[in-house]
Amino acid sequence: MKNLAKLPGKMSAGFGLSMIDRAVKEKMLGTRCKASDLKPVLDYFQQDGVVRCFYCEAPDPKRWDHLHPVSRGGDTMPGNLVPACPRCDDSKQDRDIEVWVASSSPHRPPPERLGVLLHKVEAYRKQFPYEAVEFSSRLSPSQLDTYLQFRAEIDALRRHLETFGMIKTKGATRARGAAPVQPRETT
C-alpha cells in the first residue's frame, strides 16, 4: 500500500487560480509534443535501465518537470522536459534552477550541486535543442492584450477571495505560476 497517499490531496483557491493562469498560457502558445516524442528523451536519461530524477537522482521519478516553466512560456517539448521526483518537482515550483537553489525551499539542491545541474541542462539541450523564451516576449501585441484581460479577471477573483479569507494574502508567498506579466512597451 505504499503508493496510497496518507490523506486525499487538498486544493487551495490560490493554487486553483494559478492553475487557471497556467492553463490559459499553455493554451495560448504552449507547444505540446506527443508521448512518443519523449521516448528518445527517456532513452537519453536512462542509465543501466534506470531513469532517475534529473535533480536528486532518486530512482523511478513519477513526473516530467519543465526546466523553463509553462507559467513563464515553457513548452511541453523535448529539451524542456526532464524526469523529476514529486519532491523535487513540488519544491522547484515555477523557478529556474539557480533561483531554486538560492531559495530556502525544503528539498532544494545544495549550492555545490548547481554547477552539475546547469551542466546537465547544457548537455541535454545539445541533444535536444530548446531555447527558453519568456512568456510575454512570445506573444503578439493582440495576444498579450487578450492574456492581460484574463489576468485582470484572475487577479480580481484573487482579491475577492482574499477579502473573504479564502486565500492567503498576497505578499506571504506568491502562488505557483502567477508570476507578474507586464504589458510590453510598444516602441
Residues that bind Zn ion (CB under 5 A): 53, 55-56, 58, 85, 88
Nearer to Zn ion, 16 or 109 (CB): 109
Give the Cα separation of 88 and 110 in Å (integer).
12
Residue with cell 549550492: 111
Q: Nearest distance from residue 180's CB to Zn ion, in Å?
A: 28
Nearer to Zn ion, 63 or 168 (CB): 63
Nearer to Zn ion, 95 or 158 (CB): 95
HSE at residue 18, side-chain half, CA atoms within 13 A, is 20
Cα separation values, 43 from 52, 78, 117, 127, Å: 12, 12, 19, 12
DSSP H helical segments within 30-69, as ranges? 39-45
Residue 141 CA from chain centroid, whole number = 24
Nearer to Zn ion, 58 or 157 (CB): 58
Q: Nearest distance from residue 82's CB to Zn ion, in Å?
A: 10
Query: Using the 8-state DSSP alphabet, how is residue 129 labeled?
Result: -
Q: Nearest distance from residue 55's CB to Zn ion, in Å?
A: 5
Nearer to Zn ion, 16 or 86 (CB): 86
Q: Nearest distance from residue 27's CB to Zn ion, in Å?
A: 29
Residue with cell 512568456: 135
Q: Nearest distance from residue 116's CB to Zn ion, in Å?
A: 13
Give the Cα separation of 145 and 147 in Å (integer).
5
Nearer to Zn ion, 120 or 138 (CB): 120
Q: Nearest distance from residue 143's CB to Zn ion, in Å?
A: 35
Give the Cα separation of 136 and 186 in Å (integer).
13
Residue with cell 492567503: 168
